[in-house]
Amino acid sequence: MDFLYNFFISPFVQIADSPLFFVEVLTGGLLSGVMYSLVALGFVLIFKASGVFNFAQGAMVLFAALFFAGFIDKGVPWWGSLILTIGVMVLLAMTIERVVLRPLVNQPHIILFMATIGVTYFLDGFGQTVWGSSVRVLDIGLPQTPLEIGGVLVNKFDIIAAVVAGSLVAVLAVFFQKTRVGRALRAVADDHQAALSVGIPLKTIWAIVWTVAGLVGLVAGVMWGSKLGVQFSLAMVALKALPVLILGGFTSVPGAIIGGLIIGAGEKVAEVYWADAIGGGIEDWFAYMLALVFLLFRPQGLFGDKIIERV
Amino acid sequence: MLYREAGQFKTSYAADQQIFPILQDRVGIAVIAAIALGVLPLVATEYLTTTILIPFLVMSIAAIGLNILTGYAGQLSLGTGGFMATGAFAAYKLSTAFPDLNIVFVFLGSGVITAFVGVLFGIPSLRIKGFYLAVATLAAQFFLLWLFNKVPWFTNYSSSGVISAPPRAIFGDIMVTGSSAHYTAKYLFLLVFVGFLALAAKNLTRCHLGRAWMAIRDMDIAAEIIGIKPLQTKLSAFAISSFYCGIAGAAWAFIYTGSVEPLAFSIEISFKVLFMVIIGGLGSILGSFLGAGFMVLLPVILTNAPHILGLNIPVDMISHLEYMIFGALIIFFLIVEPHGLARLWQIGKEKLRLWPFPY
Amino acid sequence: MSSTAVSAASGSDAFTADGRHKIGGVILSVQNISLSFGGVRALTNISFDVRQHEILAIIGPNGAGKSSMLNVINGFYHPQEGKVIHKGQERKRMRPFMAARAGIARTFQNIALFKGMSALDNIMTGRNTMMKSGVLAQAFYLGRARKEETEHREFCEKIIDFLEIEAVRKTPVGRLPYGLQKRVELGRALAAQPEILLLDEPMAGMNLEEKEDMCRFILDVNKEFGTTIVLIEHDMGVVMDISDRVVVLDYGRKLADGTPDEVRANQDVIDAYLGGGH
Amino acid sequence: QENGQFVPGLVYRTGPYAPGGIPWADGFADYVSLLNARDGGINGVPLVYEECDTAYNNDKGVECYEKLKGKGPTGGASVQPLSTGITYALMDRVRADKIPMITSGYGRADASDGAVFEWIFTAPVTYWAGADAIVQHIEAQEKSLKGKKIALVYHDSAFGKEPIKTLQALAEKDGFKLDLFPVPHPGLEQKATWLKIGRQLKPDWVIMWGWGVMNSTAIKEAAAVGFPMNKFVGVWWSGSEVDVRPAGMDAKGYLAAQFHGAGANYKVHEDILKNLYEKGKGASDRDKVGDILYNRGLISAVLMAEGIRTAMTKYGNKPMTGEQIRWGLENLKLDDAALDKLGLKGLMAPLQLSCKDHEGGGKVMIQQWSGAAWTPVSDWITPRRDGFLTEMYKESAAQYAKEKNITPRTCN
Amino acid sequence: MSQATLHAVQTASSPAVAEPILRVNNIEVIYDHVILVLKGVSLAVPEGGIVALLGANGAGKTTTLKAISNLLRAERGEVTKGTVDYNGRSIQNLTPNDLVKMGVVQVMEGRHCFGHLTVEENLLTGAYTRTEGAAAVKRDLEMVYDYFPRLKVRRSSQAGYTSGGEQQMVAIGRALMTKPKLILLDEPSMGLAPQLVEEIFEIVRQLNQKEGVSFLLAEQNTTIALKYATFGYILENGRVVMEGEAQRLMENDDVKEFYLGLAAEGRKSFKDVKHYRRRKRWL
Ligand SMILES: Nc1ncnc2c1ncn2[C@@H]1O[C@H](COP(=O)(O)OP(=O)(O)OP(=O)(O)O)[C@@H](O)[C@H]1O
Ligand SMILES: Nc1ncnc2c1ncn2[C@@H]1O[C@H](COP(=O)(O)OP(=O)(O)OP(=O)(O)O)[C@@H](O)[C@H]1O
Ligand SMILES: CC(C)C[C@H](N)C(=O)O
Ligand SMILES: [Mg+2]
Ligand SMILES: [Mg+2]
């Protein structure tokens, strides 16, 4: 059977034939996985801190990038644009808290999830009303050139992305685990009402979290935007971040990055070596299937908090 | 005084267990049925029928399907689009492989096939829960679309991957699918289908299967401890939900657009149906209709509103505003009533019952 | 609830003077159960028997492992060691729904009602295991489905009468006050017509009057149906008054096992649990 | 305007494909406005143009079509859906409604067979013709295709799959090896594809059938694996400014097949700038006039307008119905003289439609991105229709006719 | 309303004499815009007092407490009439966070622990609003551990995995960590072992006497509540039907019979309660 050969034998023959290429695919995959992590991180942040599955994270990536690129196009220097965009994101966070979250406090998670989809639509529409739907080129001087290390081709840009994501993860992990606010954030995620009852100010907490998520979104937006140009499709990278998210666990900051690495590497290797057996273009679902398989063994993702089941 | 159940005593449990125990409700349903069957076909224009009524009915089926899974059984799913695609392609294969098969059976058959697929993707739900499951159902969504796109057998080797509905008739010569079918025939055919499906869904949800679903939804561990088999119950929800989604997909391809490529059932459809269910009301069949109506009408109204108001706004601006208003309205409705339009309707009824005294 | 059906059928020697079923042989026996979670030893080598028709109370300080014990009996927790023998058969690696199907029903410490459903539907759910009509029959509400629904509804209405919750039968349970929720939960367990009923703090959060009612319900169930009852309760008044036997747990260990009076007199129990006031 | 000719515009200025949809729609709108502003419409019949946003989404496209088809005295008497997917979705409907559908450079290639597809016009070129032209160009560079490796990177949709059949036929005929690389919508992630192409397969040429963000991503990734740009040819929808600009200088040397020229140095642009932009009535930014997609929208509008104009020669100067416009299109002849008169000389190749041939013999040229502009690197290439493509059209159309119970009409 | 019974217990020494720290004036609460639950409840907690709020299930005790601590909004309930004053200042428009800062904290019915946080982290969230530095917080943490040694044993377990009673201790301990001046305790004894119940009330008394903390205490265990409280209110069906000093309430015949289980003949065994008693209502 052709299929069996293509599925079970040929990929390994190929790998053995040219191990260097395999390493290249692997590193390429790992590095592009990091780009997903950047987006997934925003999700994790909000989920961990308020129990809200923020579908709007993708829209926030686009939104931030649109404003940043838009200001630059208007002739504002990059640092000025950065400050302005940060201002916009803070404003956005406060608005979301006031208009969406506060009236929906203590509602079931699915309702909040739905509300964030509402936010997604609003942001997509708003960003484009202000800045239009054409592509904006975002060039902040990140090097795009390929680099050969020991015969393996890597992209400088990807390496920078990895460094950025790594540092974000480190900072956020410490923030959550070790600080008073971090603890309060996790409390809010567990029980809004109880958090209120001990005097945790949901208002401030949410404004903080959404601002931070907005800033993480900005970073992701700048990275993705300088890769693809700033355009509507940026909002869709959220879909690539979701499997990363469940694989790593909704509540784990380091999980976001490790999930990203696994998904990135997994889908690239699969696409390169198994496309012959099962047909190309599998990247779309492969990540989800991979995540699904992991979930069957760990329903809370690799690093997520265990789902508490008690009676 | 308008809406009172007082005075309508039930003398037997059987009477109390009717679908609509209250007289006013029964009258209301009868009126709606009469309008849908008798009045709308006569007055609705082609535009109205093809862009509002038919998609409304199609989406209602899908919404009922998802509501069974998510609203009743509590299994959050984003795979609706994938299941609808399965229904569409199954219907296409069935109707082209058996050209003499009555279109009613084509639809039912596609529902059954989708139910099997649904069960397959429902298996992980035993272990995976909540948002994890939701994201996992995306695996079904993307995989199924990819499959129909990739394997030419599903499209009878059409080079573009697009399938189009073969012309089929009921009662011998009334065309209901294909380009020569009259829109009113399509509408009525679909309406009858929807009627039966909605009735069946309502009945299922108030019998023991429905209670088992809701028990699993509300507290799965407790449900299991009082004797409900979780896997069986969840899978039955996946099966029946997918059955509905499959029929919705078939109706979409055969009656609404007439031709589809897999991309038509993209993740956006999944979200749309989820919206309908949530805006309409989780765990409510009526809500499925309200949600579908809301979601089908809203964009049409929004795109036409500027024109009607005599405003001259460029289309891109309209679209962007539409997005914004749409998003804002979703948030607004969730805030007003997180349990959806159906609950709003119910509160309205409760107020009516107390009327004229406020409490 | 009408008692005629049950009591008329039974011979007189099966009953005590006050009309209760005589306590019979061992119906359920837990033997050498040990259960730990990570480092926490919830249960250490616990054994006791439950006899048919008796009311057995389990008491002990908070965190002693009482609820865990019920969870083991239910098959929700799987002990690392020991076995549960139900009607002479060892149950191993049991899934929770099997216990229910074998006639063990239960209520929960933190109310575990189905919040989105009405009181009536919650109670009807208790009878789900007995309903067999198929999907199509249900979808079109035909024949068997219709008959079943009506029959079981009648039974549930009896329970509703018995528990005096007629007024709230159609109210979503999430909106009911705590005490009524507890009652609905009891109703749901009763609906299954269990042989053994496990009650986890059925009277927590009730005032005296309601506790009296609840005791009455429990005693009546035991009397009329001969249901064996295992009960966790912190109110010593209740425990001492209504139970036939008491098992005392203390941080995973069994401290004592005997009649209420024996237990009350046991110095270990006084030190560990009852405190000076009792 | 009660007695104008109603022109529906199914466009997309929103959604993931908006960056490409906007310039096309602007070009189309500007040409319609130009006719109204400069000539008072067509033969004195003003054009009433209304857009509806489809977001490149099939069911929205259907809704827009239904919404617009009944407007004006003669209805939306011709449509251009600007999407292969929507083309498929409307195929049955336009037949039932008797509305000609013009799909310039997209849609279903076999619809060129006017005997079966009475209501669909594929002028000036189809994807099959485009694929053939690209292969011709490659052959011209390589001398012989025998043993060469060509990869096709395509948008995994009805659109992207369209050229496969032709390329496979050519591969067999010319002896090259064809490898297929589908990219799922929207095409944000292509690293694996390009690693495989650039580092493992190392084909001689890569052909791309992409649209939207997929294009710029592909160019970037190709550059990242060091694939030479001058061996990388896109179809016309992968060859606009918005596709190459985000890639910066990496895109320099990239090739694209076009069925019209770039730039604003034609008479028609002069008119547009004078009659519209100087009066502040243009639809686009002034500096985007003449962009590839802008010009394509413009040409699409020209085809429609000339179809109407031709129809009026037979039916008189009043708003035309769908059936009349079909006659007009089937008798449309745009030779050099006609193009010159329209101010389009050099912008596109001449063409002539007929009852049988709804494609009209359009030509293709290859252009190269210099880093700042598109410049032609080939002459007009004539796709090998006779004996090759027309046969394929016919065969495929016949199968469609059978499926749909259509009896092909006889064209004389 | 039967005025006779009301007057029987109402005494001149209504707590209004001492300046109350909390005064609730005739509030009305509606859930979901339609369900009227409180129909005009008034009560007062004197500075340094322990006031018990008694009543059957569903009488509206929890609702009253939530109306005070402003947690109602999260349940889609609202106060539609009446006022709530704390230290003479209206607090209806303050957030729960402001209230906690001002020293008003509620221990919610049904525990509501943060399941994923450890026991110790749960306790520390209680100190969120405090500003006096880590040392003071540490001291209070030790104090809570002294009160509840069991929590110290379980300090690093996730609260979601602790037993019902342990969670109740966490909830109370967490509230103590806010360093409150007025604690709204909702059924503190629920699910606790008898000797712990005593201990909890001892803690209440200690805090009250040593630190001057005031308490408003919704409790089903009437006997013990009245033993420790100075003043009591009895709520039925969303209305206050009886109020008076704890001592006097305990002596009231109706209270004795329905809430304390002391009929004229003395305490009855639960076993001997023969008939379901029809509740005697004051309404
Ligand atoms: N699933 C679990 N994971 C970890 N620890 C657990 C789990 N279930 C119970 N425990 C621990 O086991 C011990 C016994 O708990 P259990 O709930 O049985 O106590 P209990 O006797 O019912 O106490 P209470 O009277 O307070 O309800 C507790 O310390 C609890 O923290
Ligand atoms: N969120 C809610 N929505 C609707 N009704 C509610 C809600 N919460 C409480 N109620 C209703 O308000 C009434 C008073 O409830 P509340 O919880 O205040 O009583 P309680 O005195 O605390 O009773 P318990 O002793 O059982 O705790 C009850 O009838 C209950 O049904
Ligand atoms: C603009 C378009 C018509 C191109 C597109 N990709 C298609 O569907 O063919
Ligand atoms: Mg317990
Ligand atoms: Mg309460």
H or E element in which residue C119 lies = helix C119-125
**Per-residue pLDDT tens for B252-300?**
999 998 888 888 898 989 999 998 998 899 999 999 999 999 989 988 8
> Tokens standing for C70?
């019920």
**Sign of the CA dihedral with A82 first, then A85, A90, and A91 last:** positive
The residues near A76 (Cβ < 8 Å, ≥ 6 apart) are: A84
Q: How far is the C-alpha of D377 from the C-alpha of D368, rounded, in Å?
A: 6
Q: State the residue for tokens 């009602």.
A: C113
Largest CA distance in chain B: 67
CB < 8 Å to A201, chain E: 95, 97
ipTM of the complex: 0.89
Q: Which ranges of chain A would DSSP assign to H, the alpha helix?
A: 2-4, 10-17, 19-50, 57-73, 78-96, 109-131, 156-178, 180-190, 192-197, 202-228, 237-248, 253-278, 283-297
Asked if E166 and C62 touch (Cβ cutoff 8 Å), the reply is yes
Q: Is the pLDDT of residue E144 over 80?
A: yes
C198 phi/psi in degrees, rounded to 5: -100, 125
Work out the angle at residue D280's Cα, subtended by the Cα atoms of residues D278 and D286, and round it to the nearest 5 degrees: 70
- CA B166 – CA B179 distance, rounded (Å): 9
Which pair of structure tokens corresponds to residue A185? 């954030």
| Three-class DSSP category at B153 | helix
* Inter-chain Cβ pairs, chain B and chain D, closer than 8 A: 105
Task: Verify D-C touch: 3 or more CB pairs within 8 A.
Answer: no
Chains sharing 3 or more CB pairs under 8 A with chain A: B, C, D, E
Residue C167 falls within a domain, yes or no? no
**Residue C141, in any domain of the structure:** no
Tell me: the pLDDT tens digits for E20-31?
Answer: 899 999 999 998
Is residue C57 one of the residues assigned to a domain? yes
- Cα separation, C173 vs C115, in Å, equals 5
Using a CB–CB cutoff of 8 Å, tell me whether A311 touches chain C.
yes
Nearest CA in chain C to E262: C208
Question: What is the DSSP track for D215-252?
Answer: HHHHHHHHHHTT--GGGEEE-GGG-SHHHHGGGGGGGT
Roughly how many angstroms between the first and final C-alpha of chain E, as a whole number?
A: 5
Q: How far apart are CA E243 and CA C1, in angstroms?
A: 38
Q: CA–CA distance from B138 to each of A239, B83, B288 (Å)?
A: 9, 11, 22
A144: nearest Cα among A244, A83, A229: A229
> Which domains, from first to last, does chain E contain?
3-110+179-245 (3.40.50.300), 252-283 (no CATH)
Residue C163 within any structural domain of the chain: no
Alpha-carbon distances, residue C224 vs C212, C221, D187, E199, E271 (angstroms): 18, 5, 70, 39, 15
Question: Can you list the alpha helix ranges (DSSP code H) found in B165-284?
Answer: 183-206, 208-218, 220-225, 230-251, 267-280
- Domain holding C35: CATH number? 3.40.50.300
Residue C36 domain flag: yes
Residues 6+ apart with CB under 8 A from D391: none
Spatial separation of the C-alpha atoms in residues B111 and B117, rounded to whole Å:
10
Selected residues 49-78 of chain E with any CB under 8 Å from a CB in chain C: 54-59
| Tens-binned pLDDT, residue by residue, of chain D (412 aa) | 467 999 999 999 888 899 999 999 999 999 999 999 999 999 999 999 999 999 898 888 988 998 899 888 898 889 999 999 899 889 888 998 999 999 999 999 999 999 999 999 998 999 999 999 999 999 999 989 999 999 999 998 889 999 999 999 999 999 999 999 999 888 888 888 999 999 889 999 999 999 999 999 999 899 988 899 999 999 999 999 999 988 888 899 999 999 999 999 999 999 999 999 999 999 999 999 999 999 999 999 999 999 999 999 999 999 999 999 999 999 999 999 999 999 999 899 999 999 999 999 999 999 999 999 999 999 999 999 988 999 999 999 998 898 788 899 998 7
In a domain, C22, yes or no: yes
Residue E244's SS3 state is: strand
Taking residue B25's Cβ as centre, other Cβ atoms within 10 Å add up to 15
C119 domain residue, yes or no: no
Contact state of C154 with B13 under an 8 Å Cβ cutoff: yes
User: How many angstroms separate the alpha carbon of residue D301 from the centre of ligand 3?
Assistant: 16
Residue C39 lies in a domain: yes
Residues 6+ apart with CB under 8 A from E274: none
Mean pLDDT by 10 residues, chain B (359 residues): 58 70 78 86 87 93 96 93 96 93 94 96 89 87 92 87 86 81 90 93 92 93 91 95 96 90 89 91 92 90 81 82 88 88 84 63
- Distance from Cα C239 to the centre of ligand 1, integer Å: 21
pLDDT digits (tens, 9 = 90+) for A190-219: 888 899 999 999 888 888 889 999 999 999
CB of E61 within 8 A of CB of E53?
Answer: yes
Cis peptide before D186 (omega within 30 of 0): yes
E 6-35 residues inside an 8 A Cβ radius of B: 30, 32-34
Residue position matching structure tokens 């450079």: D105
Q: What is the mean pLDDT of residues C183-191?
A: 92
Contact predicate D360/D353, CB 8 Å? yes
Distance CA D289, CA D273 (A): 8
Q: Comparing A186 with E19, which gets the higher pLDDT?
A: A186
Domains of chain A: 2-287 (1.10.3470)
Identify the residue whose C-alpha is closest to ligand 3 atom 3.
Answer: D83
CA distance E88 to chain C (A): 32
Identify which ligand lies nearest to the alpha carbon of E37.
Answer: 2
Domain that holds residue C237: 1-103+196-207+230-278
C-alpha–C-alpha distance, residues E176 and E204, integer Å: 10
- Read off the tokens for C229: 């009852």
Interface check for E36 against chain B (CB to CB < 8 A): the answer is yes
Among residues B43, B51, B50, B77, the alpha carbon closest in space to that of B273 is found at B77
CA atoms in the 13 A half-sphere facing the CB of E253:
5
Instruction: Quote the DSSP letter at residue A209.
Output: H
DSSP letter, residue D107:
S
What tens digit of pLDDT does each residue of E148-181 get? 988 999 999 999 888 888 898 899 999 999 999 9
Residues 6+ apart with CB under 8 A from C7: C15, C19, C224
Question: DSSP letters along D260-298, please?
Answer: B--SS-SHHHHHHHHHTGGGT--SS-GGGTT-HHHHHHH
Spell out which residues of chain B touch residue C99, defining contact as CB-CB under 8 Å.
225
Over its length of 311 residues, how does chain A's per-residue pLDDT go in tens digits?
Answer: 678 888 888 888 888 888 888 998 999 899 889 889 989 999 998 998 888 899 899 999 999 999 999 999 999 998 999 999 999 999 999 999 999 988 998 888 888 988 999 999 999 899 988 998 888 888 877 777 777 887 787 888 888 888 988 898 889 888 888 888 888 988 988 888 899 999 999 888 888 889 999 999 999 999 888 888 888 888 888 888 889 988 999 888 899 999 999 999 999 999 899 887 888 788 888 999 999 999 999 988 888 888 777 77
Given a contact cutoff of 8 angstroms between Cβ atoms, the answer to whether C128 and B223 are in contact is no
Enter the pTM of the model: 0.91
Asked if residue D124 has a cis previous peptide bond (ω within 30° of 0), the answer is yes
Identity of residue A148: E
Rg (alpha carbons) of chain A, rounded to whole number: 20
Instruction: Output b/e per residue, D285-308; b: 16+ Cβ within 10 A.
Output: eeebbbbbbbbbbbbbbbbbbbbb
Contacts for D358 with CB less than 8 Å, ≥ 6 apart: D111, D112, D113, D114, D117, D120, D121, D122, D123, D329, D330
Distance CA D302, CA D285 (A): 21
Measure in Å the smallest separation between the Cα of A41 and chain B Cα atoms.
16
Asked if A15 and A273 count as a contact pair (C-beta separation under 8 A), the reply is yes
The answer to whether C95 contacts B224, with C-beta atoms less than 8 Å apart, is yes
Chain A CB within 8 Å of residue E257 CB: no
- pLDDT score of B274: 92
Number of domains in chain C: 1
**Residue from A244, A234, A222 nearest A291 by CA:** A244
Q: Could you tell me if B357 lies within 8 Å of chain E, comparing CB atoms?
A: no
Which pLDDT score, from 0 to 100, does residue D261 have?
92
How many angstroms separate the alpha carbon of residue D84 from the centre of ligand 3? 5
For residue B332, give every residue at least 6 positions away whose Cβ sits within 8 Å of its Cβ, in sequence order, or none: none
| Rounded CA separation B306/B312 (Å) | 7
> Which of E29, E32, E37, E111 should be mutated for ligand 2, with most atoms under 8 A from CB?
E37
**Which amino acid, C141?**
Y
